[in-house]
A and B are shown apart, each in its own frame.
Chain A
Amino acid sequence: MTTARTAAQARPQQPTLRRAVTAWGSFSWGYSDVGADIFVGLGLVLGAAAGASNIAFLFAGIVYVCIGLAYTELAATYPVAGGGQYFVFRGLGDIFGFIAGWAVLLDFTIDIVLFAWSCIDYLSKLPVLPFLAYTSHPWTHFLVVFALIVWLAGLNIWGVRESSAFNELVSALDVVSETAILFFGFLFAFHPDLLVHTMTAAWPNTFNLMNGVSLAIISFVGLESISQAAQETQRPASIIPRTSISLILTILIFALSYSNLSLGMQPWHPIPPDAHGHQQMLWHFLGNEENNGAAVAVLASYVPYWGAFAALYVPVLGAILLLISSNSGVFGSSRIAYAMSRTQLLPSIFQRVSPTRRTPVVSIAAFCGVAVVELIFAALPSLSPGMHHLYARLFRGEDGITFLGDLYAFGAATSYSFVFIALIALRFNDAQSPRRFKMPINIPLTYRGRPAEFPVVAVIGFIGIASILVFTMITHEIGRIAGPSWIILGLVGYLVYRHRKGLPVFRSQRHDWRKAQVRILQEAGELELMDEYLRNVKAAEPPSATQRGLER
């Protein structure tokens, strides 16, 4: 065993990411990404699912817990930065790895626009700087979001990332702030009978409930950050499960609490009437077109006592968190494209690194360009009355932020579906890799003469996320066209590229996963796991084959 370890250590070292992220750092990394989603998702879901918003969040939340458990198992077993794309690539092969990665890329580009869009919405709700309200004008809004995307692209090309300490501080402040809002809201203004009344009186039809569920999943997107953090976390196999489960529960609690509070809270001061002069309920006010982009800030301002103070800082805190999330879209898309290019799933141009700044300049520019195109599509109905009528006729009048939400849900549901299948495949194809954390409820069985475990929760999660994908396709006219078009366009490009390069088009290239796994565990500092892995491999195969593998 010592020989194997020495042999593995003797390989020439390539520059790798420094493992400096602690347990708290890993939590805050994930929180600053996933935690921002509720700032966008709450208003959209309230607008769609009305009195059943908490049910929509519950359904999406249960699916999200399954996804989170799957990511935790996979990230602790394979602590590399590729995330869902890497897991699918490894479990299902090249073409499915490409499809999953391409769907994740769609999500990252939407992430850039959606969070930049919402960041401006939050800032416009800041009462102490009334001139920021001008950003709610469609043209100003469009230009400011555009400028923000260009600025983020420039920062990433220049090579500036927000510091880990800043992430940790913002996450800590946000957890405290959200807890305070919920505490004061539930303690002084929540009425369970009002919640029951709203759920009964404003229960949506099936179509709107499906629409709400498909939008609720966007409050839980960003689990890629768990695996991205795994690449830079100290002892990931033991730290990732601990922090991920806390993160999953925290996000679930916030989403369920906000939705229940929105439906059952008696506002501290009167809500203004709608455009027709009718009285509005709080959930209706939060979900209308004017407020759905900044629902958490508006809700916070109606909370007793704390609300007066929250109105001053929640828009800023929300905007910062959303900006970090938007930046993670720029950073994440370039990193995934770079990784896909290195494994010959994308052309080598995406590996091109700026000689002076050492950043993947082509990937950043290309995917920020895609984000700008998405921004134009999202902003068109508000910029031109003609386009507004066209969207109303073709797409049932979906507004910009809903258009972005549609595509976000589509990309997430597609990539997560593949991750569940990959997890099941890896349990059988790579049973030798030690798993410090496993999804609960497994059926032990024998596969090709070797013991393996069938993950029941992965099947439940797959059914859940597949149904959300179906809901997205049924309820979103734009998502139904644009989402599959993105996948088909990418797939055509992939087939042409692989054919021209003389690489297998529908089949996978040969990969030495055993060698790769030894390297991954070695670089993660998980030497005990590496030894265990080599023991498992040795026990599973004839001695001569194992020896040949190690010598190679």
Chain B
Amino acid sequence: MRRLVRSRAYARTRAVTGALFIALGAAIVVRTLLMLGLDLREIPALVLGAALIVLGLLRVRDYATLRRTVR
């Protein structure tokens, strides 16, 4: 397990899933806003979307830092 999480493939997978999280988060935010407009009931979905985007950004940032360090 430890060897796996130190590998380059794992780092790349994290970056790809990070990008997917960003896309999914953005889709949730846009779809919710389009469907409900401005409504208090949509707050949980908006927070969920925002949390996915932040998690994705963190993963992508980690990968970028790793690449800079390796270079």
Contact = CB atoms under 8 A, between A and B. Distances in A.
Contacts of B64: none
For chain A, give the interface size range: 20 to 34
Q: State the majority secondary structure of interface residues on A.
A: helix
Interface string A18-62: 000010110000000000000000000000000000110110011
A373 interface: no
A246 interface: yes
A253 B55 contact: yes
Nearest to A171: B1
Given A24-B5, A172-B1, A192-B31, A249 B44 contact: no
Contacts of B41: 196, 199-200
For chain B, give the interface size range: 20 to 34
A528 to B, nearest CB: 18
A260 B48 contact: yes
Contacts of B51: 249, 252-253, 256
A169 interface: yes
A522 interface: no
Nearest to B48: A256
Contacts of B55: 246, 249-250, 253
Contacts of B32: 192
Interface in A249-284: 249-250, 252-253, 256-257, 259-260
A398 interface: no
Given A22-B2, A168-B1, A242-B62, A61 B54 contact: no
A249 B54 contact: yes
Given A192-B36, A250-B55, A253-B52, 17 more contacts: A22-B2, A24-B2, A55-B43, A57-B44, A58-B47, A61-B47, A165-B2, A168-B1, A192-B35, A196-B41, A245-B58, A246-B55, A249-B55, A249-B58, A252-B47, A252-B51, A253-B48
29 contacts: A22-B5, A24-B1, A54-B44, A57-B44, A58-B44, A58-B47, A61-B47, A165-B2, A168-B2, A169-B1, A192-B31, A192-B32, A192-B35, A192-B36, A242-B62, A246-B59, A249-B54, A249-B55, A250-B55, A252-B51, A253-B48, A253-B51, A253-B52, A253-B55, A256-B48, A256-B51, A259-B44, A260-B44, A260-B48
